[in-house]
Amino acid sequence: MLGCLALLFALNIAVPPSLTAAGHVSSVVQDRDGRWLSGFTVEDGTWRIPADLDAIDPSFIKAVIAVEDKRFYDHSGVDPIAVIRAARTWLREGEAVSGASTITMQLIRQLEPRPRNLRSKVIETIRAVQIELWLSKDEILAAYLTHTPYGGNIEGVEAATRLYLGKAPDQLTTEDIALLIALPQSPEARRPDRNPKTAKAARNAVLAKLNAKGLLSAQTFKEASVSPLHVSRSAMPERAWITAYGLAERGARVTTTLDYDLQNTVEALAMRVMRDIESPTNIAVTIVDNRSMAVRAHLASSDRTRPGGWIDMTRQSRSPGSTLKPFIYGLAMDDGIISLGSRVNDAPTRFGNYRPENFDRRYHGQVRIDEALRHSLNVPAVAILDKIGGKRLEQSLLATGVDMTRLGDGSEQAGLALALGGAGLSVNDVAVLYAALANDGQARALRWIEDSPQSKAVSLVSPKTAANITKALRQSPTPSGYVPGWLSKNGVDIAYKTGTSYGFRDAWAAGYTDDWTVVVWVGRPDGAPRLGQTGRKAAAPILYSIFDSLPHRARAKAYQRDDDAPSGLTTVAALTGPQILFPPNGADIYAAELGADTRGFTLSATSDQGNVRFYVDAAPLAGSVWKPDREGFFTIKAVDATGQSASSRVRIMGRDGTLR
């Protein structure tokens, strides 16, 4: 006897039941409160969602056990009383009338399908005893309710409840419970979406059994039997689908930091905007809770039906345009080079072979740093970056953990292009940087999983500098149709910056309040230009609409006037080399008359090395007055005493604005 037991024990260890099949279940991604965002099928397209006994109506579990295996908690995989009863009826009737399969045996049949014959029955019996040694009763019941077939590609009570009934398994009515018990007995024949009459008859038969077992009152049985049947198949939730797909783990429930209501609001807002935007343009958004760095809403792509719509555009490296300018000025403030009230010259300037231009090709002379920042002037930003160094900016940003793609040849001059978008950053990376400004200059990684800890903080700028940058950005011009928060009774001051990449390929708006950081990207996934679509025009209105929908814990600090620069930082030292003030590069100049007898145009340039000499199409000019004798394009060059030069390409046009 002991030998037989030892042999059975050895066989149980050597040939265990196929429990690995139980692990092939659908992934479910939830919001921070456990509300379902999206789910994903297993490899063969089957919906098989893990059953959680604590999240299933207890009345359903009680009814399943009563109908399928009333002594489930008393036997060890095989119910000897049911076996004896089945044998007696078979001998009496000459055929099988009542079954003896326990829930454990049915689970074995689900995990290890075999032909329905006596040999299979014996194997299932042995396997049932085995599995009782490997799993607890609740684990067996949960596995059974996970793998129970419900017709088509639906397995398990959770998938059946959501797809057939459009609800969660803790919200079942009496008639729902009866239907879910009836379907697995003949899943294809009783599918309620295809055979509603058969499904209803089977449901009512189960109701009768429950009534006979004393689990239903006569009144409840009567009402449930006449209730209509839900016959349509629902769709699975698909909130934040691309985001959820990236966070899903095979066979697991993932609780993210996302908020279902906020996600729903942002998706609806983006889709309204998308109706007025041509395909294949798309929108990507990341919304961060500043205190916890938790991502509360996330649009990887606002429309998956458009070309490139399946790409997570918040993780793609794109030119950030002018969104890095706040960090240039911030680092310069920390280095003691400037303050908000310092003045810098906004004029055509050459930095070696690099000559930036303002977006509108207008120049304003001496401007304050805060004015240069909130109006996104290009030349002052490059001038300050030239002071601190492109590598200083690059290394400071990389230290926060962002993944920045450096463009250009790696030289210091190429590094100056960082001020105007000469790098690659993702929406999520920009969110990390701007959230740092909201958090006293301390940068942390984004959090995506609810129970994950915050990462270690990295100092990007000092708290005082972060406050100064915030003060300036809160005074940035608002998009059309919006007023500054400090002018509105219940408004919130938004510190924000827009950006437009070269060729209008990417439109950005990045902003933050005390509570939230929001980054919006609008563009084409294929990187094609969208002429005229700037960050201010295409992205900023979406940013403000999102902020209007966000809850705010407290009003931002009151509006403050700008302070003058401290002594010694009133102006930023001029740069060496000539600078052509007139005519600026790319200018169109209208000439009423041409030739030597005309008044002509006075050329203007500055240089630290004294006077400059002018050349027009390589020919020296006597003095500074230029009298063009024809229409067309000209190259003007200014050369100082050290031989350094600057050039400007202009076009002379007729009085009517045409070239003849």
**Residue extents of the structural domains in the chain:** 2-226, 325-549, 579-653
- Give the range with max mean pLDDT: 13-17, 342-346, 398-402: 398-402
Q: How far is CA 578 from CA 96, 234, 347, 610, in A?
A: 103, 71, 11, 9
Provide the annotated active-site residues. 68, 322
The two structure tokens encoding residue 390: 């492109």
pLDDT band of residue 556 (cuts 50, 70, 90) is very low
The H or E element that residue 284 is part of is strand 282-289
Q: Average pLDDT, stretch 218-243? A: 91
Alpha carbon 468 to its chain centroid, in Å, reads 29
What one-letter code names the amino acid at 470? T
Which of 306-310, 350-354, 641-645 has the weakest average pLDDT? 350-354
Which of 253-257, 278-282, 488-492 has the weakest average pLDDT? 488-492
Q: Is the pLDDT of residue 55 over 60?
A: yes
pLDDT at residue number 96: 45
- The CATH T-level fold of domain 579-653 is Immunoglobulin-like (2.60.40)
Q: How many CA within 13 A on the CB side of residue 281?
A: 21
Q: Is the pLDDT of residue 31 over 90?
A: yes
Query: What CA–CA distance (Å, rounded) separates 576 from 640?
Result: 10
pLDDT at residue number 416: 83
The chain-wide mean pLDDT, for the chain, equals 86
3-state secondary structure of 433: helix
Q: Average pLDDT, stretch 40-49? A: 91
Beta carbons of 347 and 585 less than 8 angstroms apart: no
Give the rounded percent of residues in the chain with a pLDDT score beyond 90: 57
User: Does the domain made of 325-549 have the CATH classification 3.40.710.10?
Assistant: yes
Q: Tens of pLDDT along 335-381?
A: 999 999 999 988 888 787 777 887 777 888 889 999 999 999 999 99
Beta carbons of 542 and 283 less than 8 angstroms apart: yes
Alpha carbon 266 to its chain centroid, in Å, reads 11
Q: Is the pLDDT of residue 22 over 80?
A: no
Q: Nearest Cα to 247, choosing from 19, 451, 28, 460?
A: 28
Query: What CA–CA distance (Å, rounded) separates 505 from 500?
Result: 7
Q: Tens of pLDDT along 429-465?
A: 999 999 999 999 999 999 999 999 999 999 999 999 9
Q: Tens of pLDDT along 65-86?
A: 999 888 888 887 776 675 666 5
pLDDT at residue number 493: 87
Query: What CA–CA distance (Å, rounded) separates 28 from 39?
Result: 4
Which of 200-204, 396-400, 651-655 has the weakest average pLDDT? 651-655
Q: Please indicate whether residue 465 or residue 1 has the higher confidence score (pLDDT).
A: 465
Quote the longest CA-to-CA distance of the chain.
Answer: 128
pLDDT band of residue 179 (cuts 50, 70, 90) is very high
Q: Please indicate whether residue 579 or residue 485 has the higher confidence score (pLDDT).
A: 579
Query: What CA–CA distance (Å, rounded) separates 577 from 638?
Result: 10
Residue 151, Cβ density class (10 Å: 0-12 exposed, 13-18 middle, ≥19 buried) = buried
- The CATH T-level fold of domain 2-226 is Penicillin binding protein transpeptidase fold (1.10.3810)
